[in-house]
Structure 1
Amino acid sequence: MKLKYWFDHLIGPVDEFSMENRTYNAVNLITLALLCGFFIINVTLHQYLLLKITCTVIILQSCFFYFSRFRQRFKASIIVNAIISYIAIISVFIFNEGINGPNIFLFFLTFQLLIAATHKSLHKVWIVLHILIVAALLFIDFRYPPFIRVTYQFRKDRYIDFFGTYVTVMVMIYFITIYLRSHFELEKKRAEERAQKILDQKLLTQNSEAKLRAFFNSSSSCYVLIGKQLEVLDFNNASLTFLREVYGIDIAYGNKMRDFINEAYKERFVANCGKALLGQRSIEELQLHYEDKRIWWQIAYEPAYDNWNNVLGLSFTATNINERKHQEEKINDRNQALSKIAYMQSHDFRGPVASILGLMNMIREQDYQASKEYLKLLEEAAKDLDEKIHAVVKQTDELL
């Protein structure tokens, strides 16, 4: 795990480096490791000239890696690297017995590196250069054999060099291929995760829209979303049902909303819509007359905004408040009845009660020896009070 962590750190973070840059950095690290293998092979075979070339390439490769990874000079680094690699391989071909050496293998290695780590626009350049350089070297080896140096002192040295170069190139190609496959698999996984996330978000949005639509349609109020030209953008089931029952017509997207408004209310409707489109909210209550009924409405006009806070239309909400108005009328009637009862209690009761109290005071002065006239007056006052009480009871029964 630590080795993988350091390797990922050295080739660069995914969110900061492109796939080509990370591939190039990874190949540079692997190349440095394999050049160390070439260094050991050349020391073993006593090929000191190739050893010098190998050391030079190791130094240059380290510089390429440094500029690409830590100085963010990827493009310049890979172009210079390609030039130096061509020079190095040509030198190795000339100083390592040409076609009789394992040098052709190295062209496959550099070709895969350049194809994997550069933009597609440069691929044709690398293909042409590899073909031309190899063709030129083979032509020189064929026509001018003395130009090619003989370096193997023993027959076994050739086989060791061939095998070591073959294994090195094979390992290098393997690591490059595995890295690219890992990268593509990672990108595939990320793409699938992004696709799944988009799908989940889509399903969530659809679910939210379905819930909102269900809530929208479950309301008994008539909701209509109106555009800037007073065209119908959306509506709920209550609006559709009401217009069918009253006018016998169906509302549809794109219809002019004025066509569905009571004739007596059209002028106020247009004026209120104009206010809402200017960002002003308004609400009013009124009674409208239809062919066979009258309906009290509470109508609200509210501006509708988009995500950038621009007015895209208005929301028209009409709520039937007949029941509320009926209840308000009943409450008003009760309040009037209560006021009348209060008046009767405070005024009508006072007369009979005052009469009774006055007569009782006179009877008391006569030591409660009431005359027939006093008793008759007392009876009349009691009857008057009884009538007042019955009137209050009747008013109370009417309230209930």
Structure 2
Amino acid sequence: MKRWMKLAAGVVAISLATAGCAGSGGSGSAPSNANQPQQLSGELTVWLMTGSAPETLTSALHKEFQDANPGVKVKYEIQQWNGIQQKLTTALASQTPPDVIEIGNTQTPQFAGEGVLADLTDSVNDLNGSQWLKGLKDSATFDGKVYGMPFYAANREVLYRKDMFEQAGITTPPTSRDELLAAIDKLKAKFGSDPDFQAMYVPGQNWYALLSFIFDEGGDIAKAEGKNFKSTLNSPEAKAGLEFYKKLVDASGTKAPKDNDESNPQQAGIYGGGKVAMFIGTPNEVATAAKTDPSIKDKTGAFAIPSKTAGKSAPVFLGGSNLAIPVNSKNTAAAKAYLKLLSSQKYMSEVAKTGFVPGTSTDISALASDPYASVMAKAAQNGRAVPSSPKWGEVEAGQNPLKDMMTAYITGAKSLDQATADANAALDKLLAGS
């Protein structure tokens, strides 16, 4: 999965009341330990990824947690993305893993399937479960049980040049696919005499964007069959989503490679060159574009990826992180207490202030003043994750059938039926582990 700057975590104590009952006679007093909070103690090791949480935030949160639980010492360790998969694999297989870990939402089913994450199903209510982003909750769910708590999310939107829209006579951002195509026509009519102009930069293999159009048609990549998943790339809905993506490529005037994704070359850099009016990306890519042209930030607006239904936005793929407790943690009670505080609106609001969508709160008011994050946050409420298969990591890391399918169809190397049939068979093999 694509990773964005991450945010913060902290936490506070939960009161785990012990049951006690008064005697039927005498003074009726309860035993001395009845109804007293369980005293947490020991060391709590927390692994968050580099960039996930500002030091000011983690320092304050850890102090509050330790003040509420004087018997617990938080050992906070920042991890690097480079090599983290192997480091997590080794740590989770040991008898002394960290107690709280941050993992990508597409990694969660893999580790859950390996049996190295604690089952949090009975703790969902304590962790503000009613406020969880559905897409991230789905990514933390395996075989009907929950193995992680949503941390934060980010998703794609359409980033566009406000000045170009104005010059082309486009007064409001598109709110349907048809309006998007009409905007492309107006932009080409205004700026098309420039051979370097692109009304929309659309890489041939941006499968994250493709998912929105498949979801919008009512389709999906795969459907669950017990613990396993069956590919659905050859469904009528998936075919319709792919057809529209090709229509967008053909109409856009894009010069993006048809055999590569949005990172090769980096699309934000292309946009920063000043010859592109729109692209589908994440809010942080505006800052990347501004490295080429600092003025582009003030010229850029955002709107949700439009649906085929006028006035609606398409569902989006949610990328982000979950927080989990290793099954071999020696301090599970303190780890759950830590997660409980992090899941509260108080701290999720702090997460939102970093510009990303809080994973366990529907309160996105902190993002309202950000022209990019506010659009992202609203669309995230209708976000979805990739199939929660333990094999999904192999799909993204290897020869991704979705990318092959897109290139084959967009270039005309294969028909729609052949491209989707071949991709369906390839994805089935990966999800089955063969």
TM-score per shorter chain, which class? under 0.3
TM-score after normalising by structure 2: 0.21
Q: Could you say which structure has the higher helix fraction? A: 1
TM-score after normalising by structure 1: 0.22
Q: Could you say which structure has the higher strand fraction? A: 2
